[in-house]
């Protein structure tokens, strides 16, 4: 079963990739690719999302799924063809969507998502819905939850590293207990320190992914085991660079503003619902409190610190008393030993 993993060239040679590339009718490209394969990380993202969901029983008739920033990807049609009820979403048209519209990667309606080579028109119309959604403002709670949600290289375009993780965490509210979220995003191959933290394209590091898993655990969710190995095949080492796709280099790794990056799939499962106390604590932790509430918490913290200082002082005094008692016992013991030896010496002299 697939785990949360970095895109590697070896994946393009697997049976699961070949099968999904065929099902999605992806065209072979890449001069060094074996016949029938695509050396292109975007194709990998679509195939790895589909495979991760299929392995977990999510692509069965009657299942429900929600895709974010779906653009013109084929997954909505492919999932609906397998009997899944799909809600496909993308950001509303406007300044933020302009670049995606120009590049043909923006969905404004169902027509952008219909793939006649994957599904009949009647089945598509009965199983796929569309709604504009801003991933920066989910406006939770929604009226429905889904067996799974997905996004393909979208969370890195929300402005900051934290904005992407905030979406991942908040969107788990849309997943049913036991369901899954599958996201792909940019992963930094060359550094676990320096990266792009803000802007139109941020790049996540290994430490960022590990932090996400810890935060997910606090809401009873978690990442499938992570594999950060970037691969050592020549197609993993020879990264693409601008202008992408036109310099005859494999597009498995690429250079983004001085960082070599690739795609990573994040496979997240939702466990049981957290208890009321945990939910309340998390809500308090993740929200910005009003001034009076904040002042109240600060007063409480100061009182707690004062109490701790008092306890430390009391412990110090107690330690001093214990030390004094130890010294008294040592002196008494030394006096007793000296007395015993003196008396014993007198006894020896009298015999």
For every residue of 25-55, DSSP letters joined together read: TPPPB-TTSPTT-B-BHHHHHHHHHHHHHHH
Q: Say yes or no: 193 and 339 in one domain.
A: no
Model confidence at 99: pLDDT above 80: no
Q: Say yes or no: 183 and 265 in one domain.
A: yes
Q: Say yes or no: 87 and 190 in one domain.
A: yes
Q: Say yes or no: 171 and 110 in one domain.
A: yes
Q: Say yes or no: 213 and 324 in one domain.
A: no
Model confidence at 68: pLDDT above 80: yes
User: How would residue 285 be classed by pLDDT, with cut points 50, 70 and 90?
Assistant: low
Phi-psi region of 245 (alpha: psi -120 to 50; beta: other; left: phi over 0): left
SS3 214: helix
Last residue of a domain, one of 252, 286, 320: 286
Q: Give dist(CA 207, CA 218) in Å, integer.
A: 17
Model confidence at 65: pLDDT above 90: yes
User: How would residue 351 be classed by pLDDT, with cut points 50, 70 and 90?
Assistant: very low
Question: By mean pLDDT, which of 58-62, 136-140, 189-193, 331-335 is the weakest?
Answer: 331-335
Q: Give dist(CA 68, CA 106) in Å, integer.
A: 11
CB–CB of 41/263 below 8 Å? Answer: yes
Q: Give dist(CA 350, CA 341) in Å, integer.
A: 15
Last residue of a domain, one of 286, 312, 343: 286
Q: For position 102, what pLDDT does the model report?
A: 45
Q: For position 98, what pLDDT does the model report?
A: 52
* Bigger pLDDT: 313 vs 350: 313
CB–CB of 225/3 below 8 Å? Answer: yes
Q: Say yes or no: 274 and 180 in one domain.
A: yes
**pTM of the full structure:** 0.74
Q: Say yes or no: 319 and 278 in one domain.
A: no
Domain residues for 298?
Answer: 291-351
Looking at the structure of the chain, the number of domains it has is 2
Whole-angstrom CA distances from 127 to 23, 60, 79, 132, 287 are 19, 13, 9, 17, 37
Q: For position 276, what pLDDT does the model report?
A: 54
User: How would residue 6 be classed by pLDDT, with cut points 50, 70 and 90?
Assistant: very high
* Bigger pLDDT: 201 vs 325: 201
In whole numbers, what is the pLDDT of the chain averaged over residues?
A: 84
Segment 120-176, tens digit of pLDDT = 999 999 999 999 999 999 988 898 999 999 999 999 999 999 999 999 999 999 999
Q: Say yes or no: 271 and 296 in one domain.
A: no
Last residue of a domain, one of 286, 303, 321: 286
């Amino acid at each position: 079963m697939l785990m949360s993993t970095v895109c590697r060239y070896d994946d393009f040679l697997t049976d699961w990739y070949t099968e999904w590339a065929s099902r999605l009718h992806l065209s072979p490209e890449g001069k060094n690719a074996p016949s029938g394969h695509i050396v292109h990380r975007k194709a990998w993202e679509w195939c790895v999302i589909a495979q991760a969901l299929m392995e977990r029983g999510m692509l069965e008739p009657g299942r429900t799924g929600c895709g974010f920033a779906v653009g013109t990807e084929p997954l909505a049609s492919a999932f609906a063809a397998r009997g899944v009820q799909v809600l496909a979403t993308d950001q509303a048209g406007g300044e933020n969507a302009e670049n995606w519209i120009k590049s043909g990667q923006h969905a404004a309606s169902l027509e952008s998502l219909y793939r006649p080579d994957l599904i009949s028109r009647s089945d598509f119309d009965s199983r796929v819905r569309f709604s504009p959604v801003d991933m920066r403002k989910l406006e939770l709670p929604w009226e429905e939850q889904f067996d799974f949600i997905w996004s393909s290289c979208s969370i890195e375009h929300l402005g900051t590293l934290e904005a992407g993780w905030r979406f991942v965490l908040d969107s788990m509210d849309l997943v049913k207990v036991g369901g899954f979220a599958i996201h792909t995003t940019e992963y930094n191959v060359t550094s676990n320190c320096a990266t792009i933290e803000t802007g139109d394209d941020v790049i996540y590091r290994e430490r960022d992914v590990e932090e996400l898993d810890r935060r997910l655990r606090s809401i009873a969710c978690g990442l499938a085991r992570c594999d950060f190995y970037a691969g050592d095949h020549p197609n993993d080492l020879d990264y693409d660079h601008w202008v992408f796709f036109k310099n005859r280099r494999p597009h498995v790794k690429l250079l983004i503003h001085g960082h070599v990056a690739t795609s990573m799939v994040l496979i997240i499962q939702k466990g049981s619902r957290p208890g009321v106390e945990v939910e309340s604590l998390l809500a308090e932790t993740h929200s910005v409190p009003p001034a009076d509430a904040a002042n109240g918490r600060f007063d409480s913290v100061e009182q707690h610190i004062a109490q701790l200082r008092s306890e430390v002082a009391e412990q110090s005094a107690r330690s001093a008393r214990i030390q004094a008692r130890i010294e008294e016992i040592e002196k008494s013991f030394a006096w007793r030993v000296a007395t015993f030896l003196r008396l014993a010496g007198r006894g020896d002299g009298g015999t």
